[in-house]
């Protein structure tokens, strides 16, 4: 079946966007679309240019026998700034304040579209050195971690509050939750992760950093290399967290329960171009 060039472009872009970071051999598309590999280069060139114009990422052609084409999500600084600003506006709504000085944000972090953007922003930092796994601990960070894993084309791994009989043997550690100062347990099924994997830690919120440190300690048991720790929101205070190298999309400056005011702002890196995006959007 002969497929028109314009339809071909739709098919290719659809496959690329559906599986970020997956390298599709050119023969895959050539066979699927019934065209010579040489005919594909013009299609791919157009896709590359359009995705760059939208500041959504890089469509990369890898030469050679093991080569092909892949889509690497990289949300440009301008778009990141816009998304972060919109998030701040919504998170500052006074009715989100929960007694005890907490911020209700489930409606935002469980929204697939928003979580999808956040995941793509986190993935933007690892465009050329993607991790092999994304780790989170149950429960609230799971949707964000899932969408980050999706954008990186890697599996998600979920640590549990306790070991589960349905997951087989597991490794568990105790850690001190930074804010409540309570001793808690975190467990990960042995089969979840091979030894010496490269892992990105994702969570929704960081105050003292106790949970993130717990995840790092758990990963040590698997001899994993932690490539980074990313959270949606980190509090400005305490400045000194229990983990050193983390990044957050937003910074929570203050919640004033009395005045019903929330102060939250994008982290500095969000609105500045990443090294990886330099020269990328000029067409």
Q: Is residue 2 within the footprint of a second copy (CB under 8 A)?
A: no
Among 34, 86, 102, 236, binds a second copy (CB under 8 A): 102
Minimum Å distance from CB 275 to a second copy?
26
Stretch that binds a second copy, among 78-86, 161-169, 210-218, 271-279 (CB under 8 A): 161-169
The pair phi, psi for residue 214, each rounded to 5°, is -60, -45
Residues 24-43 that bind a second copy (CB under 8 A): none
Q: How far apart are CA 24 and CA 13, in angstroms?
A: 12
- Pairing type for strands 183-189 and 198-206 reads unpaired
Coil/strand/helix, residue 192: helix
Contact 228, 125 (CB under 8 A): yes
Binding characters for a second copy, 173-192, by CB under 8 A (x = yes): ----------------x-xx
Q: Which window, 78-86, 101-109, 261-269, 273-281, contacts a second copy (CB under 8 A)?
A: 101-109
Binding string, 103-122, against a second copy, x = CB under 8 A?
-x-xx--xxxx-xx------
If one asks whether residue 94 binds a second copy (CB under 8 A), the answer comes out as no
Determine the Cα–Cα distance for residues 87 and 97; give it in Å rounded to an integer.
15
* Residue 64 interacts with a second copy (CB under 8 A): yes or no: no
Contact in structure between 224 and 193 (CB atoms under 8 Å) = yes
DSSP state of 190: G
Tokens of 152: 């990186």
CB of 100 to a second copy, least distance (A): 6
| 260 binds a second copy per the rule CB under 8 A | no
Instruction: Round to whole Å and give the CA distance between 74 and 206.
Output: 24
Taking the alpha carbons at both ends of the chain, their separation in whole angstroms is 34
212 binds a second copy (CB under 8 A): no
Let me know: does 231 contact 212? Beta carbons within 8 Å: yes
Task: Name the residues that contact a second copy, by CB under 8 A.
Answer: 4-7, 9-11, 13-14, 17-19, 46-47, 49-51, 53-54, 56, 98-100, 102, 104, 106-107, 110-113, 115-116, 138-139, 142-143, 146-147, 149-150, 153-158, 160, 165-168, 189, 191-192
């Amino acid at each position: 079946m002969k497929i028109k060039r314009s339809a071909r472009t739709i098919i290719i872009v659809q496959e690329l966007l559906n599986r970020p970071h997956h390298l599709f051999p050119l023969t895959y598309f050539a066979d699927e679309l019934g065209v010579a590999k040489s005919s594909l280069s013009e299609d791919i060139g157009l896709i590359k240019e359009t995705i760059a114009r939208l500041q959504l990422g890089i469509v990369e052609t890898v030469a050679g026998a093991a080569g092909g084409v892949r889509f690497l999500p990289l949300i440009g600084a301008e778009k990141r700034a816009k998304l972060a600003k919109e998030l701040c506006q919504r998170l500052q709504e006074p009715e989100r304040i929960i007694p005890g000085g907490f911020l209700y944000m489930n409606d935002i972090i469980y929204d697939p579209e928003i979580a999808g953007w956040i995941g793509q922003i986190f993935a933007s930092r690892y465009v050329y050195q993607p991790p092999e796994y994304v780790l989170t601990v149950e429960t609230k960070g799971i949707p964000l971690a899932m969408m980050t894993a999706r954008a990186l084309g890697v599996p998600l791994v979920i640590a549990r509050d306790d070991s589960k009989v349905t997951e087989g043997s597991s490794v568990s550690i105790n850690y001190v939750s930074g804010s409540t100062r309570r001793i808690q347990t975190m467990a990960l099924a042995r089969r979840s992760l091979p030894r010496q994997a490269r892992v990105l830690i994702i969570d929704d919120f960081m105050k003292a950093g106790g949970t993130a440190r717990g995840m790092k300690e758990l990963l040590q048991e698997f001899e994993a290399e932690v490539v980074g720790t990313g959270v949606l929101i980190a509090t400005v205070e305490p400045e000194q967290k229990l983990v050193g190298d983390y990044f957050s999309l937003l910074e929570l400056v203050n919640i004033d329960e009395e005045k019903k005011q929330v102060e939250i702002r994008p982290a500095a890196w969000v609105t500045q171009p990443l090294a990886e995006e330099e020269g990328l959007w000029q067409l």
